[in-house]
Structure 1
Amino acid sequence: MGLAWQQGPLATRSVGQFLVAQPLPDRLLFAEPLRRRMRVQFGGQWVADSEDVVLLHEPDRYPVAFFPLADVRAGVLVPETRTTTHRDLGATAWFDVHGGDTQARRAAWQYTDLPAHAAVLRDRVAFAWRSMDAFYEEDERIVGHAADLYHRIDIRRTSRHLHVRDGDQLVAETRQPIALYESGFAPRWYVAREDVVSSALTRVEGQTFCPYKGLASYYDIGERKRAAWSYLEAWPEVAAVSGWVSFEPDLVDVYLDDRKLTLEPGQTVVPHGIDRGLDPDELRQRSATAAHPGNS
């Protein structure tokens, strides 16, 4: 998903390859200016506000936003005594974060002994995503993690024949599926509700969310657990698949033009890192969070 995660070019399971004569290092980190105003909300106030954010892409991690210390509100960062060591970037100092009457332990960090080639991160601090109340680009709340500038979704309508079976039972059939192409993933195929045998789907508890598509609901198909899913209210950017259903080809039989599909390597989504848990409640709270906290 994007530059350094899933099967992106800087991920350890990249589906592509760099065409170079000499092998590249096992791990490549990439930092770049975000070029968007980003703000952090905690304890009813803005604790950081900057137009000079640097985004760090680290292999197999979601991107992390680093703020200049000068753009962090005074008194917000309280140093901890314990430090750790990053395998590539060296000594790491940790901070408690104070906002109003609220505090979060070990909720921000800074690399304090950076190698010369990583100087772009000097005097910058990152905030643990799940420890803060919210992150914003301008007045729009961003959920899950900092937006990956290299993540892309393309949706294409097609007349290919797609059908889904659970053993001898027909679950879905259409000649008007939608193909969803997403950075770092193999294509996913979506079917309109009217082309799905509704009695074949059993809605189950538990939802997940994608920072780029919204909240996903899941369905059992017979004995096949969570074999299908749907974004019932997909975000506007991917509204074409809202309410449509997609199927796991390793759990049920999915045929595209009579070719049986398989789950491709690297397709399973696994969250990584201290600040990268993708919590459905965060998405549900998105619209409830005020764009302008009272103590700005």
Structure 2
Amino acid sequence: MGRLLIPGPLPERILFAEPLRRRMRVRFGGTWIVDSEDVVLLHEPGRYPVAYFLREDVGPGVLEQAEHTTHHRDLGRTSWFTVRAGDQSKQRAAWQHVDLPDYAEDLKDRVAFAWRAMDAFFEEDERIVGHAADAYHRIDIRSTSRHLIVRNGDHTVADSKRPVVLYESGFAPRWYVPRDDVDGAALAPGKGQTFCPYKGLASYYDIGDAKRAAWSYENAWDGVRRISGMVSFEPDEIEVLLDGVRLRMEPGQNVVSHGVDRNLDLDEARDPGT
């Protein structure tokens, strides 16, 4: 949400590639098809980070050249592969940019794998869920004694002087309230769940006629364990006051739960494995 203090305009699109500096492995067909400490992470506008592996680090017989090719607007012609291992195969499950411009040589002789087409991705022995981990995505949780009140008309849904605030890269602050400070009778289970690769699985609540006006990570992942079971409220659906000032929706507060480069479902979050 910030801006660069430079005199001229930036190009419309900027791609950023950097060494991951972590061992990364890919599992498919019940076997490890890649095990590499030489991984390049590509950041591209409008997409999640993508890991690129050296072809030489991919197991023999894993990649089968397909006739299908596409054209990347910045990186040129892209060849696609069928991925095979054991008795399993997936068409168009990996790709390589084969006509790279000089400025993109960091990706030369490297291949990427479609996240949802693989069984799993790991950093060392821990599974990475959702997409390649973004080193620039940070979450900080802070305790506060500020007074947070949530109202539905004349009814007070929550009243707390001990909420916590969650700061997440690229998003507006979110305020979470302990369950003891929430009128549980006002929360009716809402429709659907969503999955955050950094926090886990979120369940939703309706408050009166306000649909999905609140949510909770009942079993938040280790990095954000402090918010497990706490409740946060959507300020465009319900009245939320912080120190007497009503909160409003801010840029970066809406979340798109389904990414453009993966079919994001909840299976990974329910059973991420080890």
Q: CA deviation at 1:272?
A: 2.7
Name the counterpart of 1:149. 135
Q: Structure 1: any 5+ residue segments left out of the alignment?
A: 1-14, 292-296
**In 2, are the aligned partners of 1:144 and 1:277 still within 8 Å (CA)?**
no
Name the counterpart of 2:64. 78
Per-residue Cα deviation, 1:211-258 (whole angstroms, up to 9, x for no partner): 111111111111111111001011111111110000110100111111
Taking structure 1 as the reference length, the TM-score comes to 0.90
Q: Structure 2: any 5+ residue segments left out of the alignment?
A: none
Question: Map of 1:1-296 to 2, 5 A cutoff?
Answer: 15-270=1-256, 271-274=258-261, 276-287=262-273, 291=274
Q: CA deviation at 1:266?
A: 2.8
Partners of 1:262 and 1:86 lie apart in 2 by 39
Partners of 1:33 and 1:251 lie apart in 2 by 42
**In 1, are the aligned partners of 2:188 and 2:205 still within 8 Å (CA)?**
yes
Name the counterpart of 1:10. none
Partners of 2:62 and 2:271 lie apart in 1 by 24
**In 1, are the aligned partners of 2:191 and 2:212 still within 8 Å (CA)?**
no
Q: CA deviation at 1:285?
A: 2.4
Partners of 1:109 and 1:222 lie apart in 2 by 49
Partners of 2:171 and 2:263 lie apart in 1 by 19
Per-residue Cα deviation, 1:29-50 (whole angstroms, up to 9, x for no partner): 1000000000000000011110
Partners of 1:109 and 1:131 lie apart in 2 by 12
Per-residue Cα deviation, 1:64-100 (whole angstroms, up to 9, x for no partner): 0000000001111111112111111111111111111
Q: CA deviation at 1:278?
A: 2.8
Which of 1 and 2 has higher RCO (CA within 8 Å, sep 6+)?
A: 1
Show structure 1 runs of 4+ deviating over 3 A.
none
Partners of 1:197 and 1:93 lie apart in 2 by 56
Counterpart of 1:130 in 2: which secondary structure? helix
Taking structure 2 as the reference length, the TM-score comes to 0.97
- Letter matched to residue 159 of structure 1: S
Per-residue Cα deviation, 1:46-69 (whole angstroms, up to 9, x for no partner): 111100000000012110000000
**In 2, are the aligned partners of 1:191 and 1:244 still within 8 Å (CA)?**
yes
- Letter matched to residue 80 of structure 1: A
Per-residue Cα deviation, 1:194-218 (whole angstroms, up to 9, x for no partner): 0000011011342211111111111
Q: CA deviation at 1:267?
A: 1.9
Counterpart of 2:105 in 1: which secondary structure? helix
Equivalent pairs counted in the alignment come to 273
